[in-house]
């Protein structure tokens, strides 16, 4: 399977970085700060992967429009307090390095902001592995296909030779919208049954499973 794809695109939060609990907790804490209804864990997890303002609108649908910007600011306050301590998932560095040294082009398509992704890549030392990146403040948010379409155009790869790896239905739907194959990671934000409904090529529990799927071990 590794030779079938020239380009592998990874989501960041919940796929490469074990950040689901921090993001959901920051959404909930921001709501408490402002006296807004606090979304359940399920509701807060569901919006992970979307652009921040849109994610908060979905997570707290009853929030008045004038509260969205303060909600964004309070979310950032809580998230940035824990940002540097968010780890990679076990095996992520090794699997991505294997793909890189096997000659695959690698990219990131994320709901993070550009500043947020740059911080994450710098803190983890993962920046050298990725040839292209797109963030939600640079183009359309998931599940719109723009991130994948722009990455493929930049790197000169056709959809049939690209693969999306993500942990949310937003990732898998983006891939479907772009005509790209996808693999779902079940260690992140969305339940396995929701991922399965979008018919990814595989559902994998961890990066050991991903490496085995690519037959790099």
Positions marked catalytic: 11, 13
Helix (H) or strand (E) holding 203: strand 202-204
Cβ neighbors of 64 (< 8 A, separation 6 or more) are none
Decide if 158 contacts 179 (C-beta within 8 A): no
Decide if 10 contacts 16 (C-beta within 8 A): yes
Q: Is residue 101 reached through a cis peptide bond, with omega within 30 degrees of 0 on the bond before it?
A: no
DSSP three-state, residue 16: coil
Identify any residues that bridge with 134 across adjacent strands, giving them in sequence order. Answer: 109
Helix (H) or strand (E) holding 183: strand 181-185
């Amino acid at each position: 399977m590794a030779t079938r794809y020239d380009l592998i695109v990874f989501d960041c939060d919940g796929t490469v970085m074990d950040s689901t609990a921090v993001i959901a907790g920051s959404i909930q804490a921001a709501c408490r700060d402002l006296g807004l209804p606090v979304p359940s864990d399920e509701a807060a997890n569901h919006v992970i992967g979307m652009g921040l303002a849109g994610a908060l609108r979905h997570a707290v649908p009853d929030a008045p429009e004038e509260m969205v910007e303060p909600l964004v600011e309070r979310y950032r306050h809580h998230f940035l307090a824990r940002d540097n301590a968010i780890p990679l998932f076990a095996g992520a560095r090794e699997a991505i390095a294997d793909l890189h040294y096997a000659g695959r082009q690698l990219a990131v398509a994320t709901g993070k902001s550009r500043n947020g992704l740059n911080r994450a890549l710098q803190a983890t030392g993962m920046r050298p592995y990725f040839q292209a990146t797109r963030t939600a403040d640079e183009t359309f948010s998931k599940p719109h296909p723009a991130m994948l379409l722009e990455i493929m155009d930049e790197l000169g790869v056709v959809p049939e030779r690209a693969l999306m790896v993500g942990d949310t239905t937003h990732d898998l739907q983006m891939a479907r919208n772009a005509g790209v194959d996808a693999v779902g990671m079940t260690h992140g934000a969305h339940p396995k049954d929701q991922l399965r409904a979008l018919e990814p090529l595989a559902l994998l529990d961890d990066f050991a499973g991903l490496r085995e799927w690519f037959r790099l071990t």
